Amino acid sequence: TINSGNGLITGVSSGTSVMTYTVSGTGGCSDATANRTATVTGAPSTPGSITGSSSVCSGIAGSYSISSVTGATSYTWAYSGTGTASSSTTSVDLTATGAGNLTVTATNSCGTSSAQSKAIAIATPTKYVSTTGSNSNNGDASNSAYLTLEYALTQVAGSGCYNISIAAGTYT
């Protein structure tokens, strides 16, 4: 929008527009006309969906990302739960120890977008070990309590995310 009194241009929305200025001639002089193109840039759009798991193991880093946003020059990631997420790019590593929401905004010189958010839960896989070793869904199917416990431990080893429930009794 152009204010005809002072020539001030006010952008209503992002885009490009051609403006024509006309100065009326007086005293026998003809009108003078000039065309100018103005581009109005707004804040970036809201980032698209955040990719990555909605369930993480406590204290284990998970990777998350978004597609780049047109016109964005940086990104801000934040986590509302207990944990850390810090990045200024389209990807972030989140190390969470408590459930929360992972959010990201896109920024440029004209402003900051609305936030995109993803709920994050803390997962704890469980393995159950019986004294007879007969629980083949969670352990070794050999009916040996020792092999069942050994199998359960190998399934969670190195993951940093486990809860092994061992039944009371005698193991041989």
The string of pLDDT tens digits covering residues 45-58 is 999 999 999 988 88
Q: Which two tokens stand for residue 27?
A: 């005293």
- Higher pLDDT residue, 54 or 8? 54
Average of pLDDT values for 14-25? Answer: 78
pLDDT at 156 over 60: no
Looking at this protein, which amino acid is placed at residue 75? Y
Looking at residue 47, what is its pLDDT? Answer: 97
- Higher pLDDT residue, 74 or 56? 74
